[in-house]
Amino acid sequence: MQVNKGDVKGEEIVFDRDASFTKGNALWQFIAHSPRKVLDRDILEKALQNGANYVHEAPPPPPEPEPEPEVEEEDPLVAALEGLIEEGDPENFKKDGTPKSAVINKLAGKAVTTEERETAWQTALNR
């Protein structure tokens, strides 16, 4: 089977999806959003019936959607610990340099678990 690569003359059409047709011993392939000239009236009619548009009538391809920017929500506990670091009041820290549990609980307004406290502390230190 012979593959028709397009005509030099004829009506210029475009599909918004890939399509193909056969006529006799020829295969007509259309690649989405790639204009092709078609001189053969039977193929032109078949293409138009199956969703092709004349190039001058064809809507532009849809734009690629912009990726949503990732919004990182700030953990209020991490923000409070960063404030403690900036403040630097030795009364808020134990001898090993970590913040006192009571100070963290007061800042958070609730009892903070050891795991939450340690994770938030490491995050605050590494910023």
Q: Return mean pLDDT, the chain.
A: 85
Strand 53-54 and strand 26-30: the pairing is: unpaired
Cβ neighbour number for residue 52 with a 10 Å cutoff: 24
79: phi then psi, degrees, rounded to nearest 5:
-60, -40
Alpha carbon separation from 31 to 15, 100, 103, 108 (Å, rounded): 7, 66, 66, 59
Residue pLDDT, tens place only, 46-75: 999 999 988 876 566 778 888 888 777 788
Please give the pLDDT value at position 17: 92
Instruction: Report how far residue 7's alpha carbon sits from residue 22's, in angstroms, rounded to the nearest whole number.
Output: 15
Which parts of the chain have pLDDT scores under 70? 1-7, 57-60
35 contacts 14 by C-beta, under 8 angstroms: yes
pLDDT of the residue at 108: 86
Can you give the pLDDT at residue 73?
76
Q: Determine the pLDDT at residue 6.
A: 63
**C-alpha to C-alpha distances, 74 to 38, 71, 83, 104, nearest whole angstrom:** 59, 9, 13, 16
Per-residue pLDDT at 5: 64
Query: Can you give the pLDDT at residue 49?
Result: 92
Is residue 26 within a helix (H) or strand (E), and if so which, with residue range?
Answer: strand 26-30
pTM of the model: 0.43
CA distance 101 to 117: 8
Determine the pLDDT at residue 91. 92
